[in-house]
Chains A and B, each alone.
Chain A
Amino acid sequence: MRPLFALAIGLLFGAGLCLSGMTAPAKVQGFLDIAGAWDPSLAFVMAGAIGVGLFLFRVARRRLPPPSHRVDVALVVGSLLFGVGWGLVGYCPGPALAAIGSLDPKALAFVAAMIAGTGLQRLVASLRLSAAGFVATDVDRSVTAEACGA
């Protein structure tokens, strides 16, 4: 991934977000409010993105590892938590970052909290991983001890 190309992709993606209406949290909440005055626009965003995506990702399939079909508790719980945050404020990660330039204090606070949440999950995951590492080491030791006839 070349930085200049990544910058261009970021600009294009950001332009798409602006055009689609996803950068307006009120519009996002209008889409999520299916029981009120429902604005179905964001379903059209998904349709447009996936319509093109189905074709382009097929073209690109040799550049990527095959998609995962693994479903686990972390996937479901994480997604449920994410949905609550998304519904509460109307920002998912892309539009939240796109709002940084507005210098709106609440948008900036949301991004800071989002980065903190990301860091927190990474910390929890690495602690769990190192805890699992200790267990594995203990198992290795007992296996080694057995192999030595201890």
Chain B
Amino acid sequence: MSIDWQNFTPLASLAGGVVIGISAGLLAARSGRILGVSGFVSGLFDRDKEWTARLALIAGLILAPLLIGTVHTLPSALPDVGWPVVIAGGLLVGFGTRLASGCTSGHGVCGLSRLSLRSAVATGAFMASAFATVFVLRHIA
């Protein structure tokens, strides 16, 4: 293992994390909702009275990089992988996060902030399999 100093951005990443934590905390404090993105996506299938609000949050999430992109060049979003991997990855992320009732935001940020054992187990599991996947991808396959 060696540290990739060239791409290491401790301050920006810490600051970004703080902003993420504030947004999740504000939603919890004011609306009593957990900011879990996979849950919000899943909620698009439920046409209840919160449907518009869920869509609005997702719209904000989509708009943010576009607004920031007008004043600051953001790194390319292009994943450097083949089409079958893109599709398989998307299916796994969608299916897996719903089976586990949460993703990086719901379990990783909100759940860990609430000291939930359930979220700690989920976060440990998805981090472990993500590390293992990249290891196989880059060092074995």
Contact B133 A88 (CB under 8 A): yes
Contact B104 A93 (CB under 8 A): yes
A133 in the interface, Cβ–Cβ < 8 Å? no
A70 to B118, CA, bound (A): 6
Contact A122 B57 (CB under 8 A): no
Q: Bits for A106-136, please: 1 = Cβ < 8 Å to B, else 0.
A: 1101111111111111100100000000000
Q: If A18-B65, A54-B113, A60-B29 touch, does A93 touch B100 (CB 8 Å cutoff)?
A: no
**DSSP majority for the B interface?**
helix
Q: Bits for A93-111, please: 1 = Cβ < 8 Å to B, else 0.
A: 1101111111010110111
User: Taking the nearest CB of chain A, how far is it from the CB of B88, in angstroms?
Assistant: 7
Interface residues on A, range: 35 or more
B4 contacts across to A, CB distance below 8 A:
30, 37-39
A47 contacts across to B, CB distance below 8 A:
14, 17
Contact A21 B92 (CB under 8 A): no
Contact B7 A100 (CB under 8 A): no
Complex A-B: 17 CB contacts under 8 Å: A10-B56, A12-B64, A13-B23, A16-B22, A18-B65, A20-B13, A35-B139, A36-B139, A40-B8, A50-B109, A61-B114, A83-B128, A84-B129, A92-B104, A100-B62, A104-B76, A121-B98
Which residue of chain A lies nearest to B51 when distances are taken between CB atoms in the complex? A3
Contact B63 A14 (CB under 8 A): yes
Contact surface of A with B, Cβ cutoff 8 Å: 1-27, 29-30, 32-42, 44-57, 59-61, 63-64, 67-71, 74-94, 96-102, 104, 106-107, 109-122, 125
A9 to B44, CA, bound (A): 17
Q: If A41-B7, A93-B103 touch, does A6 touch B17 (CB 8 Å cutoff)?
A: no
User: Taking the nearest CB of chain B, how far is it from the CB of A126, in angstroms?
Assistant: 10
User: Taking the nearest CB of chain A, how far is it from the CB of B25, in angstroms?
Assistant: 3
User: Taking the nearest CB of chain B, how far is it from the CB of A83, in angstroms?
Assistant: 3
Cβ-neighbour of B18 out of A48, A104, A107, A115 (below 8 A): A48
Cβ-neighbour of A78 out of B61, B91, B97 (below 8 A): B97
